[in-house]
Structure 1
Amino acid sequence: MTQPTTDVIAIGNAIVDVMAPCADELIAQLGLSRGGMTLVDADQAKVLYDAMGPAREISGGSAANTLAGLALLGAKCAFIGQVAQDQLGEVFAHDIRSGGISFDTPVGPASPPTGRCLIFVTPDGQRTMNTFLGASQFLPASALDDKAIADAQVLYLEGYLWDPEEPRNAMRRAIAAAKNAGRKVAFTLSAVFVIDRHRDDFNALINEGLIDILFANEEELAALTGLEDCHEGLASLTGKVPTVVVTRGSQGALAVSEGQQAQVAAQPIERVVDTTGAGDLFASGFLFGFVRGRSLEECLTLGSVCAAEIISHFGARPEVDLKALVSEKIGA
């Protein structure tokens, strides 16, 4: 097996986040699922956008957010995702490349347009996301560079993108390319609604030994395993997934890897401003530790530090020097 030339290559939704603070009452008025992520069509997206107050446009997408954090930590990264030939597509491509992340997926036509996520943030920092996937749900398998996947130490897959058929086929091809090259495959479950739709698929990937690192929060783990107790859920995956990582919000995070267990507390912060991207940046820290050969506890701590930074401000992209921050916190 040749030495990898990239630390992490990810496949995910290429989306621009449109974020605005709002009162709790607006969530109820619009009939939104508070704290959740709902897929919307183009007409619904327009209605929600019109109801928003002053907003910020920030390139997002779960896997892309994770890569942004990894790149700031010093990892070499590449992204695969579909944008359209439009203004938001240009915004996304510029942002991800300016972060030092390789992005060579061919641009799609102007229609359907580049995806966007309309995020309403209530005073308690909770985010309610409404996603119009647009062009991102039409990522074809032909857009993949099998050699680039084979040259990466870890292939990271975003569960959200498993929902549409075309990118699901692309991710299956990517898994085969990574496994044929002897690389690791990491998968984030993303959301309970995704698990509810594709539980059989996800369990098949797990049972076939195709997932090496699985990321979930407590609710997602329960949805996948059918077990409400977090520790029982973890135990049910023992022997099937080499490394399982579970985030628990204010209770920190825990992981089981090759018979080892570790648990860390959440990093203290003054105030939770916006929880958008907390899981994404946790994955950044954990994967950075993983590709650098750090211990399981150190990987969890790195994830916790990165997640704490992201929830201290609006937006799912870091606003500080993450490398300096983790060095200050844990000497990494």
Structure 2
Amino acid sequence: MNMAHCNTDVVSTQGDAERVIRSLLSQPRYTHQSPLVIGCGALNVDYLFRVRRLVTDGETEITEMRREAGGSAANTIYALAKWGIPCAFIGCIGNDDDGQLMLQSFERVGVDTHWLSIQHDHHTGRVMGFVDTCGHRALYVLPGANLALSAAELPNELPQCTRWVHCTSLVGESQMHAQREWMIALPERIHVSFAPGAIYVEKGLDTLRPFIERATVLFVTRDELTELTNISDLSTACIALHSIGVPLIAITAGGEGSYISFRKHPKCTAPIAMPTDADEHTLHHESAIAVTVRDTTGAGDAFAAGMLLGLLHRLPLNA
């Protein structure tokens, strides 16, 4: 093989990717309206491998592989935009094919990408995901360009029409700190939804307290709720988090369905519609629809999108 020719091909591919990315970013955004919801979190391209079983020390066959744009907040924003909600996203991508894929995915549904920062010294974040025949998964994160997110990439002002900011985890400590300080400083008119995920939950309640105190809605799994509070009883665990300040907690519980825990709080009166006779603390359970599980990747992100859509339309929590 001619190595010189090989190197030229690489440079050409990178150049093509950069031209496409710059072209996408230069296009006009939301000529019809500004974003109601803005996402902030990791931008990753998911490399998903289907396997017969997950192994910790052994070998198994990969039966299928696919590559798609991902990231928790990105998935939620994508879904909302696809449903017609004007959205934007804040984050970092690399100057590569994966970054191009992220941009094209957002552009396809009309997400405003002018707050995306291209990092020339980093590759776009990647997640290597292995999913077995039961839908169980193991995810491994290569943060890449997400580690470049700093206060400089987080806008000091947001459009007056923006009603929600949806935040999810970032791998680096300095990135989490920048996101936390930015989120805390958001104007009171903006409601915050926060989905910490396993990466943030592992840091413990003391670290996440400022996020939870500022949030209007907290999205967690049943296991994350228990780990975060060290309380096994669902209602008691929710009350513990409500006492920090978050009025609404949405809990996903797999085949068990989902739970919505609501506690009356001054900051929840505007976006959340509840029956006038609602108790001080209400815990509502919604059973899961019986389906054959193929892959749970992104399920919680889609759940968050549906919840936010209902809140944007002021649908009652028990609808």
Cα-Cα RMSD: 2.2
Residue pairs, 1:147-166, within 5 angstroms = 147-148=157-158, 151-158=161-168, 160-161=169-170, 163-166=171-174
Specify every segment of 5 or more residues in structure 1 that has no aligned partner in the other structure, as ranges: 32-50, 299-332
TM-score (norm 2): 0.78
**How far apart are residue 76 of structure 1 and its match?**
1.4
Residue pairs, 1:227-246, within 5 angstroms = 227-239=231-243, 240-246=245-251
1:20 to 49, 52, 61: 49
Q: How many residue pairs are counted as aligned between the two chains? A: 269
Partner of 1:262: 284
Instruction: Measure the CA separation in 1 of the matches of 2:308 and 2:154.
Output: 22
**How far apart are residue 181 of structure 1 and its match?**
4.6
Deviation string for 1:67-116 (max 9, x for gaps)? 11112222111111110111111111111121211112343333221111
SS at match of 2:249: strand
SS at match of 1:282: helix
Instruction: Measure the CA separation in 2 of the matches of 1:25 and 1:68.
Output: 29
Higher strand share: 2
Deviation string for 1:32-86 (max 9, x for gaps)? xxxxxxxxxxxxxxxxxxx856521100000000111112222111111110111
2:316 to 295, 303, 308: 295
Question: Is 1:279 aligned with 2:289?
Answer: no
Partner of 2:192: 185
TM-score (norm 1): 0.75
Deviation string for 1:166-215 (max 9, x for gaps)? 3223313431442x252111111201x53222431212443xx3121111
Instruction: Measure the CA separation in 2 of the matches of 1:197 and 1:236.
Output: 17
Cα distance change of structure 1 residues 52 and 86 upon mapping to structure 2, 3 Å threshold: farther
Instruction: Measure the CA separation in 1 of the matches of 2:141 and 2:160.
Output: 31
Residue pairs, 1:1-332, within 5 angstroms = 5-24=34-53, 26=55, 28-29=57-58, 54-148=64-158, 151-158=161-168, 160-161=169-170, 163-178=171-186, 180-191=187-198, 193-206=199-212, 209-239=213-243, 240-257=245-262, 258=264, 259=280, 260-269=282-291, 271-298=292-319
SS at match of 2:117: coil
Instruction: Measure the CA separation in 2 of the matches of 1:79 and 1:196.
Output: 25
SS at match of 1:142: helix
CA contact (8 A) 1:138 1:166 kept: no
SS at match of 1:83: strand
SS at match of 2:119: coil
CA contact (8 A) 1:149 1:177 kept: no
SS at match of 2:163: strand
Instruction: Measure the CA separation in 2 of the matches of 1:238 and 1:181.
Output: 18
Cα distance change of structure 1 residues 92 and 7 upon mapping to structure 2, 3 Å threshold: same
CA contact (8 A) 2:129 2:138 kept: yes
Higher helix share: 1
SS at match of 1:108: strand
Instruction: Measure the CA separation in 1 of the matches of 2:160 and 2:201.
Output: 27
**How far apart are residue 25 of structure 1 and its match?**
5.6
Please tell me the residue identity of whatever aligns with 1:225: T
Instruction: Measure the CA separation in 2 of the matches of 1:25 and 1:129.
Output: 11
